[in-house]
């Protein structure tokens, strides 16, 4: 019996990168805010993009999260469908030199300084416990798209991008977990914009993710997220337990909880991620990338697709990666 060929879906490639940018732009004005401050500003659900004058960013604009993801995606296209770490590192340096940094993190800043001083991509990344930030998970989605049909390559490419700035096992694992869930989404056999209602089978995606990444602190927090989902714990309580700081173990687990709580509803997923406060742009970006990979661009509210910065360019870049994947496999 021949093995069934799984064909990725273009709409989900577009939905993934757009979802990342939209989640980032929605969360951008509230970075560092406490939950009750956000609720006081917008109520119980996000409806519109808002500006952040303190960051000099207008409504619908995104931060360094999306900037770095797009530079990674452009490198992949430029290199013919490969993650070439030397080229990715040069791309990050070029972004830095442009001056349009939009909130660059400390680990990324220090790593790029080392690259500019002559360090190789293998030696530039911050090391130690303070390198377990979410700066890898926020940008890694293009790897999940590129390697959606090749799990072992996904492992390696996730690592090679991550260590350019964050040479830390949890940071690497965070990228792998996000990319695994993105890959599962874009090749899912579910039809239309809606993957499925939340069920025990959907929640078992956490078990599959844990099996893929292996034992680590992130795996333990993902296990906690699964328990909170099964117990029906609401987002405000659940995310306070999982954490919403810039620690990758917290960011990824919280984003996964938000997606699996409402796998059919992009707007509710990113709203829950952002309303919990903390590192809102990054939790929103990760949750949005995963949800977009499962729901496709048609599952994202049109006003956000039309209102996000450079939306057409982002979809064109996603399509270029899609064509690379299809060309290699079919």
pLDDT of residue 3: 47
CA distance 81 to 77: 5
**What 3-state class would DSSP assign to 166?**
strand
Q: Is 306 exposed, middle or buried (0-12, 13-18, 19+ CB in 10 A)?
A: exposed
Q: Is 302 exposed, middle or buried (0-12, 13-18, 19+ CB in 10 A)?
A: exposed
pLDDT of residue 8: 93
> Structure pTM?
0.96
Q: Domain ranges in the chain?
A: 10-46+57-329
Residue 167 CB partners (closer than 8 Å, separation 6+):
125, 126, 127, 131
> Would you give the DSSP letter of residue 3?
P
Instruction: Please answer whether residues 236 and 276 qualify as being in contact, where contact means their C-beta atoms are separated by less than 8 angstroms.
Output: yes
- The architecture (CATH level 2) of 10-46+57-329 comes to Orthogonal Bundle (1.10)
pLDDT of residue 203: 82
**What 3-state class would DSSP assign to 224?**
helix
| pLDDT tens for the 330 residues of the chain, in order | 344 557 899 999 999 999 999 999 999 999 999 999 999 999 998 999 999 999 999 999 999 999 999 999 999 999 999 999 999 999 999 999 999 999 999 999 999 999 999 999 999 999 999 999 999 999 999 999 999 999 999 999 999 999 999 999 999 999 999 999 999 999 997 654 444 555 677 788 999 999 999 999 999 999 999 999 999 999 999 999 999 999 999 999 999 999 999 999 999 999 999 999 999 999 999 999 999 999 999 999 999 999 999 999 999 999 999 999 999 765
H-run or E-run covering 127: strand 126-127
pLDDT of residue 1: 32
pLDDT of residue 285: 98
Instruction: Please answer whether residues 141 and 289 qualify as being in contact, where contact means their C-beta atoms are separated by less than 8 angstroms.
Output: yes
């Amino acid at each position: 019996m021949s093995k069934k060929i799984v064909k990725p879906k273009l709409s989900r490639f577009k939905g993934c990168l757009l979802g990342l940018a939209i989640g980032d732009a929605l969360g951008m004005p509230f970075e560092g805010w406490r939950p009750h401050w956000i609720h006081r500003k917008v109520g119980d659900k996000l409806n519109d993009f808002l500006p952040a004058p303190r960051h000099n960013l207008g409504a619908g604009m995104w931060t360094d999260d999306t900037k770095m993801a797009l530079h990674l995606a452009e490198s992949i296209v430029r290199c013919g469908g490969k993650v070439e770490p030397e080229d990715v590192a040069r791309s990050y340096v070029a972004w830095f030199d442009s001056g349009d940094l939009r909130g660059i993190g400390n680990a990324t800043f220090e790593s790029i300084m080392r690259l500019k001083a002559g360090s190789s991509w293998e030696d530039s990344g911050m090391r130690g416990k303070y390198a377990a930030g979410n700066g890898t998970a926020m940008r890694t989605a293009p790897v999940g798209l590129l390697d959606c049909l090749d799990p072992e390559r996904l492992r390696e490419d996730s690592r090679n991008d991550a260590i350019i700035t964050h040479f830390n096992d949890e940071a690497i694992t965070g990228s792998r977990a996000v990319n695994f869930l993105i890959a599962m989404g874009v090749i899912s056999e579910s039809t239309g914009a809606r993957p499925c209602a939340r069920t025990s089978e959907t929640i078992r995606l956490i078990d599959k993710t844990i099996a893929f990444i292996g034992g680590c602190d992130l795996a333990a927090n993902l296990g906690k997220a699964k328990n909170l989902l099964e117990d029906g714990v609401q987002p405000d309580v659940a995310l306070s337990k999982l954490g919403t700081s810039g620690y990758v173990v917290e960011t990824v687990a919280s984003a996964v909880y938000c997606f699996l709580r409402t796998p059919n509803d992009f707007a509710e997923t990113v709203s829950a991620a952002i309303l919990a406060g903390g590192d809102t742009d990054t939790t929103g970006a990760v949750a949005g990338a995963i949800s977009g990979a499962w729901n496709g661009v048609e599952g994202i509210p049109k006003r956000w697709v039309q209102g996000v910065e450079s939306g057409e360019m982002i979809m064109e870049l996603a399509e270029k990666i899609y064509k690379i994947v299809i060309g290699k496999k079919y």
